[in-house]
Amino acid sequence: MLGRYSLLGLLCALFAVQSAVLAQGVTFLIKGKVVDSKRNVLQGVQVYAKDGDEIVGKSKTTIAGEFTMTLKPGKTYFMSFERSDLFMSQQDFRVPDGKSYQEINQDFQVKVLAKGDTIQQFTLFQEGQSNSKTAELFTMLPEMMRKLLHLKVKIVVSAGNGAKQSTKGKKEKNTQKAKGKKGAQANASAPLTLIEKRIQDIRSKLITAGAPESRIIFEEGKLKSPKDVALIVASIASDF
């Protein structure tokens, strides 16, 4: 009797091991579609699936926004989507458990940057001050502009509630050449406004961080307190 139970236990153990080995070789076919917030399909998007630090899947969307990829079941993958008008489009994707081949249809919604979009707003300055504090802007924007080569941005800077705005108008303009010695001396001695000092501070720190100055426009504006800087898409073009 004991021998019979021992044999039965051994068979069960062997079956469990065999099932585990077979399961390791099982893959699911992911039939994905990449869309924007309005459900428009996006072609030419490079799609990556990462398991930890390892890229385990790679594909590219068709004109219909579709892609296919084989992944192992029972895992959560880190999906990233790259195109010239996408930035930091990443999300987790859980593939369910399973011991046999399956096909999974899945839509992935991503944010497409367009002209006029506000990327993010920041609070960089203390009231009445022109020296900005450490902020995500100075790391995020240089990285964004390295990845999105067709992106130009507008940075709207506010002087805060009750602060005097520059008399140069809303858009920053190049200083006109002074006519005559008297005009040149007057222009050189004119003090910078608070908002002009803030623009100088932001520009200097962004250039130091590697952001291309030629693709950045500064503009004065009013923002809802406590935000004093807004990052906006000035123009962007796709190269897919």
Equal fold, 26-109 vs 118-235: no
CA-nearest of 206, 202, 198, 178 to 190 is 178
Specify the length of the chain in residues: 240
Q: Which pLDDT does position 12 carry in this prediction?
A: 52
In the Cβ-directed half-sphere of 139, how many Cα atoms lie within 13 Å? 4
The residue written with tokens 């010695």 in the block is 181
Q: pTM of the entire structure? A: 0.69
Is the pLDDT higher at 70 or at 187?
A: 70
The residue written with tokens 């906006």 in the block is 232
Q: How far apart are CA 149 and CA 187, in angstroms?
A: 37
List CB contacts of 237: < 8 A, sequence separation 6 or more.
84, 85, 150
26-109 CATH: 2.60.40.10
In the Cβ-directed half-sphere of 18, how many Cα atoms lie within 13 Å? 6
> Could you tell me the end-to-end alpha-carbon distance of the chain, in angstroms, rounded to an integer?
71
Q: Which pLDDT does position 88 carry in this prediction?
A: 77
> For the chain, what is the mean pLDDT?
84
Tens digits of residue pLDDT in 26-62: 999 999 999 999 999 999 999 999 999 999 999 999 9
Give me the long-range contacts of 16-22 (CB less than 8 A, separation at least 24).
Answer: 19/99, 22/99
Q: Which pLDDT does position 160 carry in this prediction?
A: 78
Tens digits of residue pLDDT in 102-122: 999 999 999 999 999 999 999
pLDDT tier for residue 165 given thresholds of 50, 70 and 90: low
The residue written with tokens 């428009």 in the block is 40
Residue 188 reports pLDDT greater than 90: no
Residue 89 reports pLDDT greater than 80: yes
Can you give the residue ranges of every domain in the chain? 26-109, 118-235
Q: Which CATH architecture has domain 118-235?
A: 2-Layer Sandwich (3.30)
pLDDT tier for residue 173 given thresholds of 50, 70 and 90: very low
